[in-house]
Amino acid sequence: MRLNKVGITGGAVYLVLGLVWVWLAQPPAPAFLLVAWFAVVAAIECLIPGEANQVSLARAHLAAPALVYALDAAFGPLAVVLAVAGLTDLVDGTVARRFDRPSTLGGGLDPIVDGVLLGAVALGLAFGGIMPLWLAIVIVARYLLPAIGGLVLISLHRRPELRHTVSGQVSTSLIIVLVGGICLFRFMNQDATNVVVGAEVAIPISTLATFIHLGWAARRPVAAPEPG
């Protein structure tokens, strides 16, 4: 990866939007830390090509406000952040088909930015006393461990097959629905105990199923690299 016009433009736009949010929203967090997060993500973004990948990277930027609002139990603004993030998740595939072709890089980037966003929400809710810390750690591990595994395979000169799996999509959907459900119940001042219990059962099981599926897929011979 190297500097490219699309990445630099996307990073600059998101950085400006992040600074505007910090200035106007005055979030309950140290402004320099938020600005530093937006700057770091924007710097990485400058190296990532493709319009669709720029759309996906919006979710990495949104992790900062998601964490702040989850820690502050500000469920209304958090719902807005998650709605915008969900919209980018729907749009990036369409953009990939319109401007580029869906790529291996995009297939690997998508779960990483999902993990950054959902991990931020889960940790914020956990430290805010809304959900158990161990469950937040499971959610972080759901995305972190496959990323580490992919890096290990690459270091062993094996090219992992970066694509969505059924188990992974089910796992991510369950995390979004259940964590979102906890936020919704708390926003409506309703008891979220049953939703939390459901999350404590369903999320670890789906995470384990994802790990087993990915481990099994990693045993298969890797297809020849794509041209270009």
Q: Is the pLDDT confidence value at 43 over 70? A: yes
Q: What is the pLDDT at residue 217?
A: 67
Measured in residues, the chain has a length of 228
Question: Could you tell me which residues come within 8 angstroms of residue 29 by beta carbon, excluding any fewer than 6 positions away?
Answer: 68, 71
Burial environment of residue 226 by CB neighbours within 10 A (0 to 12, 13 to 18, 19 or more): exposed
- Say whether pTM exceeds 0.75: yes
Average pLDDT, the chain: 85
The average pLDDT across 211-224 equals: 66
What tens digit of pLDDT does each residue of 151-184 get?
666 566 666 555 566 778 888 889 989 998 999 8
Average pLDDT on 179-205 reads 92
- Encode pLDDT of 45-87 as tens digits: 999 888 888 988 999 999 999 999 999 999 999 989 988 988 8
Residue ranges covered by each domain of the chain: 62-218
Max CA separation in the chain (angstroms): 54
Mean of pLDDT values over 90-98: 73
The pLDDT score that the predictor gives to residue 1 is 63
Nearest to 64 by CA among 121, 20, 24, 25: 121
CATH number of the structural domain 62-218: 1.20.120
pLDDT band at 224 (very low <50, low <70, confident <90, very high): very low
**Confidence (pLDDT) at 228:** 40
3-state SS, residue 29: coil
Q: How far apart are CA 111 and CA 96, in angstroms?
A: 16
How far is residue 144's CA from residue 130's CA, in Å, rounded to a whole number?
A: 22
Residue type, position 96, single letter: A
pLDDT digits (tens, 9 = 90+) for 11-36: 999 999 999 999 999 999 999 999 99
Higher pLDDT, 43 or 4: 43
- Residue 22's pLDDT is 96
Residue 38: pLDDT above 80? yes
pLDDT value of residue 101: 57
Check if the beta carbon of residue 135 is closer than 8 Å to that of residue 81: no
Q: What is the mean pLDDT of residues 205-210?
A: 92
Nearest to 145 by CA among 106, 166, 119, 123: 119
**How many CB atoms lie under 10 A from the CB of residue 112?**
18
Do residues 22 and 31 touch, judged by C-beta distance below 8 A?
A: yes
